[in-house]
């Protein structure tokens, strides 16, 4: 008998094999492919329109793994079509290094045994009301948004919703936007439920991943807390998906296979016919539009947990406040921070820039140090004693021969968190200070650092946007935004929305246990309207206005954007190819083709980059027309095309 077998590779169709084995859709099998043996899955349809005659090879064996569910296969087919990637690469996301895991000793699952403890948490009247609304249609697909001010106890509400699903024997998936959040979140989960969830992200060991993958496949593990990739695990009986911080743009996978994990989670829930809950303090523009249209349900938490009040806001006008030379902290802010420290408040200085300085140049020859592989400046990291490229990882020593004479004399232009930290150490001697960024908090000792911050053993934090993402610091009652003007620059169509989410989340770290808290904004800008907008207690005012602007200008979520990025090592050849490609596709695609233009970061990892943008109606017709035409175009050697559906960044 013949079977269609999908292989985890670049092909968009299954291969036909034959076997006397009793096989069904979703079974994992080993098949010969070329000179090697490879794992594949029995797919739901044969390759279409194959007119070639070929000799059918035999399936070698069936693996003892629970079959991939038909609903999951349908989701992967749709995922492939929506994101314009081959079906084989969609399957690859499900597998572990192109493998399935057969046998795991049963005692390996002991750490994840589901035994829910008796609850000691009491939900408020407002939380119970939200829970009731959330639980209305838990027996089928629906999207529900739980919107709550930061610190309002949203987590406890969806934990309760998940508890009823677990008790019925179903599995639950909680998606988080950052790896760095999983440690503290896991502790909160264990405290609430009394058992260990399985944690899934790129930092988990291979051995642990094998246990979890098999446990999810056979139903022995019930709860996964994970980053984007956990969405593709082969769940046996998935009953609920929760996307925490749904607005967070880290859910967008930008490298390799591009997709938005939040949107794909909604699609998977739809194919599995299960409920999905989106959790946020301020919804994304797309989610807000779906709430307004009635596509998504909504419940709100307006009160902070135990009635803690939201922080106050103060603007420090740097035109009127004295700042010393080579300093970024005004005398006024130093005075205010000292008064907070006297009250034993923890303080955060916020600047969304890693490293010491984003620009380094020589005082004698005026050379600016840029990356040899990318068209961007190298960032000086003082703690590492080196210049780094944040895009390709290029690393260089600071010492340089000057074209004038001797060695270069360096000028550091602009601050990063390391530079602010140095200034904070000078201004607040004797205080315990910690830098909180991806450079410092993705290491083995990061849990110890978090513990000291929570216990208020760390007096002052200097942090990037990582600190805004769901952490709970009980003593943090003073936040200083070092320079809000930096984050309001640029030409990103989502820039205003990003700032709204960033500063709402950031201010939500302060005053969580009831003490008065203040967020201070240092700015040179006389027009403080932007600060008023992003700190307004009713973010819907901003979102309504943003939707009006987007609708008027035919921007997402009212139109579909698809980026086509061409890369190549030869600049002239790339630009010629981009024009030829545009001429070939523009009359055959359902949509308007804009460009080609040089990408804002024109050279990245030694490759030049040119972008085209397709804008069209929100329909799969756009993707189908692209999928139909692109295979007919033969790119010149050395030119590569990558596709980004619903792009978030336009670098």
Considering the domain architecture, whether residues 199 and 301 belong to the same structural domain is answered as yes
Q: Once rounded to an integer, what is the mean pLDDT over residues 106-113?
A: 85
Kindly state whether residues 55 and 122 are assigned to the same domain: no
**Is residue 28 in a domain?**
yes
Range of weakest confidence among 40-54, 95-109, 188-202: 40-54
- Provide mean pLDDT across the span 472-494: 77
Question: Rounded mean pLDDT of 444-458?
Answer: 80
Alpha-carbon distance of 636 to 620, in angstroms, equals 28
- Residue 435 · residue 418 · CB < 8 Å: yes
Phi, psi of 533 (to 5 degrees): -65, -50
Range among 175-179, 217-221, 483-487, 532-536 rated most confident: 217-221
Q: What do you get for the CA distance between the two ends of the chain, in Å?
A: 50
3-state secondary structure 11-45: CCCCEEEECCCCCCCCCEEEEEECCEEEEEEECCC
- The Cα-based distances of 574 to 260, 375, 565, 587 in angstroms read 28, 16, 11, 21
Pairing status of strand 395-397 against strand 61-62 = unpaired
pLDDT at position 573: 95
Say whether 571 sits in a helix, a strand or coil.
helix
> Among residues 277, 306, 335, which one ends one of the domains?
306
For the chain, count helices (H), then strands (E). Answer: 17, 30
Whether residue 566 contacts residue 641, with contact meaning beta carbons closer than 8 Å, is answered with yes
Tokens of 617: 């109606």
Of the three residues 92, 124, 153, the one that is the final residue of a domain is 92
What is the reported pLDDT for 626?
A: 94
Q: Does one domain contain both 297 and 185?
A: yes
Pairing of strands 433-436, 460-463: parallel
Which pLDDT score, from 0 to 100, does residue 437 have? 84
Tokens of 200: 């899934």
DSSP 118: P
* Residue at a domain's end among 546, 573, 599: 546
Asked whether residue 612 is domain-assigned, the answer is: yes
Predicted local confidence at residue 64, as pLDDT: 93
Q: Does residue 171 lie within any of the structural domains?
A: yes
- Pair (272, 316) in one structural domain: no
Q: Are residues 47 and 122 in the same domain?
A: no
CB 562 within 8 A of CB 613: yes
Same domain, 197 and 247: yes
Residues 427, 280 share a domain? no
- 349 CB-near residues (< 8 Å, 6+ apart): 329, 420, 424, 460, 461, 462, 463, 480, 482
Do 52 and 197 lie in one domain? The reply is no
Phi-psi sector, 427: left (phi>0), alpha (psi -120 to 50), beta: alpha
Residue 370 in any domain: the answer is no
For tokens 């030869």, the residue is 570
pLDDT of residue 202: 85
Q: 58-62, 478-482, 526-530: lowest mean pLDDT where?
A: 526-530
CB 17 within 8 A of CB 55: no
* CA dihedral sign of residues 53, 55, 60, 62: positive
Number of domains comprising the chain: 4
Nearest-angstrom CA–CA distance, 169 and 330: 57
In a domain, 407, yes or no: no
Q: Are residues 476 and 337 in the same domain?
A: yes
Q: Are 286 and 501 in contact (CB under 8 A)?
A: no
Looking up tokens 């695990």 gives: 233
CB 569 within 8 A of CB 558: no
Q: What is the DSSP string of 226-287?
A: E-GGGGGS--SSEEEEEEETTT-GGGEE-SSS-EEHHHHHHHHHHHHT-EEEEEESS--HHH
457 within some domain: yes
CB of 362 closer than 8 Å to CB of 475 = no
Under 8 Å CB-to-CB from 412, ≥6 apart: which residues? Answer: 356, 357, 359, 360, 380, 419
How far from chain centre, in Å, is Cα 172? 20
Residue 245 near residue 469, CB atoms below 8 Å: yes
Higher pLDDT, 145 or 308: 145
Question: What CATH code is carried by the domain that includes residue 85?
Answer: 3.40.1440.60
Residues 328-368: tens digit of each pLDDT: 999 999 999 999 999 999 999 999 899 999 988 888 888 88
How far lies 406's CA from each of 218, 409, 411, in Å? 67, 9, 16
Q: The tokens of 240 are what?
A: 């609920």
pLDDT tens profile 634-648 = 999 999 999 999 998
- pLDDT of 428 reads 94
Q: Supply the CATH number for residue 626's domain.
A: 3.30.70.600
Q: How large is the average pLDDT for residues 558-582? A: 95
pLDDT at 597: 95
Q: Which residues contact 325 (CB under 8 A, 6 or more apart)?
A: none
- Any domain includes 276: yes
Q: Considering the chain, what percentage of its residues have pLDDT values greater than 90? A: 60
b/e per residue, 219-233, with b = 16+ CB within 10 A?
ebbbbbbbbbebbbb
Mean pLDDT of the region 496-512: 81
Dump pLDDT digits (tens) for 127-171: 999 999 998 878 899 999 999 888 788 999 999 999 999 999 999
As a residue count, the chain comes to: 651
Is the Cβ–Cβ distance between 505 and 472 less than 8 Å? no
Contact yes or no for 404/364 (Cβ under 8 A)? yes
CA–CA distance, 548 with 9 (Å, rounded to integer): 43
The pLDDT of residue 489 is above 60: no
- Residue predicted with more confidence, 85 or 102: 85
Residue 418 contacts residue 360 (beta carbons within 8 Å): no
Mean pLDDT across the chain, nearest whole number?
A: 89
409 contacts: CB under 8 Å, gap ≥ 6: 362, 363, 364, 402
Please check whether residues 266 and 213 belong to one and the same domain. Answer: yes
Q: Supply the pTM of this predicted model.
A: 0.91
Q: Which pLDDT belongs to residue 65?
A: 93
CA distances from 119 to 134, 160, 175 (A): 20, 10, 23
- Note the pLDDT tens digit of each residue in 359-391: 888 888 888 889 999 999 999 999 888 999 999
Q: Which of 350, 326, 312, 307 is closest to 514 using CA atoms?
A: 307
How do residues 208-256 score in pLDDT, each as one tens digit? 999 999 999 999 999 999 999 999 999 999 999 999 999 998 899 988 8
Mean pLDDT is lowest, of 22-31, 38-47, 478-487, for: 478-487
- pLDDT at residue 306, rounded to an integer: 64
- At 466, which CATH number? 3.40.50.300
> Do 319 and 449 reside in the same domain of the chain?
yes
Please spell the DSSP secondary structure of 176-231, one letter per residue.
-S-GGGHHHHHHHHHHHHSSPPEEESTTS-HHHHHHHHHHHHHT---EEEE-GGGG
Residue 462 domain-assigned?
Answer: yes
Record the tokens describing residue 377, joined without a space.
């400046």
Least confident range from 17-21, 279-283, 509-513, 618-622: namely: 509-513
Tokens of 452: 């000291």
The Cα 583–Cα 576 span in angstroms is 11
User: Is the pLDDT reported for residue 119 higher than 80?
Assistant: no
Determine phi and psi for 340, rounding to 5 degrees: -70, -40
pLDDT of residue 307: 66
Domain range enclosing 60: 2-92
Angle between helices 261-272 and 70-83 (to 10 degrees): 140
Is the separation of the CB atoms in 569 and 608 below 8 Å?
Answer: yes
User: What pLDDT score does 433 carry?
Assistant: 92
Residue 205 and residue 272 in one domain: yes
| Matching residue, tokens 């179903």 | 170
């Amino acid at each position: 008998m013949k079977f269609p077998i999908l292989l985890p590779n670049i092909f968009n169709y299954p291969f036909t094999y034959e076997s006397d084995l009793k096989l069904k859709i979703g079974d994992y099998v080993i098949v010969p492919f070329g000179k090697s043996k490879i794992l594949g899955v029995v797919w739901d349809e044969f390759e279409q329109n194959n007119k070639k005659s070929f000799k059918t090879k035999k399936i070698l064996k069936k693996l003892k793994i629970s079959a991939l569910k038909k609903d999951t296969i349908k989701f992967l087919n749709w995922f492939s079509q929506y994101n314009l990637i081959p079906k084989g690469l969609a399957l690859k996301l499900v597998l572990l290094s192109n493998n399935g895991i057969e046998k795991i000793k049963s005692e390996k699952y002991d750490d994840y045994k589901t035994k829910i403890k008796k609850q000691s948490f009491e939900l408020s009247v407002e939380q119970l009301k939200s829970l009731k609304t959330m639980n209305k249609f838990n027996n089928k697909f629906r999207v529900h948004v739980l919107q709550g001010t930061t610190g309002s106890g949203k987590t406890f509400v969806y934990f309760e919703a998940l508890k009823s699903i677990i008790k019925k024997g179903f599995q639950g998936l909680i998606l988080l936007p950052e790896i760095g959040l999983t440690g503290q979140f896991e502790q909160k989960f264990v405290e609430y439920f009394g058992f260990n969830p399985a944690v899934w992200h790129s930092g988990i060991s291979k051995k642990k991943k094998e246990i979890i993958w098999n446990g999810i496949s056979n139903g022995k593990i019930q709860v996964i807390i994970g980053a984007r990739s956990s969405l593709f695990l082969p769940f046996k009986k998935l009953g609920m998906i929760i996307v925490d911080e749904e607005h967070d743009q880290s859910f967008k996978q930008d490298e390799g296979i591009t997709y938005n994990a939040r949107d794909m989670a909604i699609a998977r829930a739809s194919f599995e016919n299960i409920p999905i809950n989106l959790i946020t303090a301020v919804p994304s523009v797309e989610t807000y539009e779906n709430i307004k249209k009635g596509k998504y349900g909504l419940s709100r938490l307006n009160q902070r947990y135990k009635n803690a009040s939201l922080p106050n806001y103060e603007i420090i006008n740097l035109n009127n406040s004295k700042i010393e030379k080579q300093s970024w902290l005004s005398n006024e802010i130093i005075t205010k921070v000292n008064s907070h420290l006297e009250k034993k408040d923890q303080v955060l200085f916020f600047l969304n820039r890693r490293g010491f300085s984003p620009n380094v140049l020589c005082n004698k020859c005026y050379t600016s140090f840029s990356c040899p592989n990318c068209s961007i400046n190298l960032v000086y990291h003082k703690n590492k004693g080196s210049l780094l490229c944040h895009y390709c990882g290029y690393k260089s020593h600071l010492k340089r021969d000057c074209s004038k004479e001797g060695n270069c004399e360096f000028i550091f232009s602009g601050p990063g968190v390391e530079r602010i930290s140095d200034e904070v150490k000078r201004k607040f001697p004797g205080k315990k200070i910690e830098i909180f960024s991806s450079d410092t908090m993705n290491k083995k000792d990061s849990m110890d650092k978090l513990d000291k911050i929570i216990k208020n053993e760390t007096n002052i934090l200097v942090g990037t946007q990582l600190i805004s993402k769901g952490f709970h610091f009980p003593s943090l009652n003073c936040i200083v935004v070092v320079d809000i003007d930096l984050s309001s620059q640029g030409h990103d169509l989502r820039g205003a929305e990003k700032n709204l989410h960033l500063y709402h989340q950031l201010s939500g770290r302060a005053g969580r246990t009831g003490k008065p808290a203040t967020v201070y904004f240092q700015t040179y800008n006389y027009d403080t309207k932007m600060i008023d907008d992003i700190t307004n207690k009713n973010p819907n005012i901003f979102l309504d206005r943003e939707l009006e602007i987007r609708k008027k200008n035919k921007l997402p979520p009212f139109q579909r954007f698809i980026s086509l990025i061409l890369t190549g090592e030869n600049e002239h050849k790339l630009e010629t190819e981009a024009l030829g490609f545009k001429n070939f596709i523009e009359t055959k695609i359902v949509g308007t083709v804009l460009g080609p233009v040089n990408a804002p970061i024109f050279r990245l990892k030694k490759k030049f980059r040119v972008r085209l943008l397709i804008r069209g109606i929100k329909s799969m017709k756009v993707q189908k027309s692209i999928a139909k035409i692109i295979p007919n175009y033969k790119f010149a050697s050395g030119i590569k095309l990558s596709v980004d559906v619903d792009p978030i960044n336009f670098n």
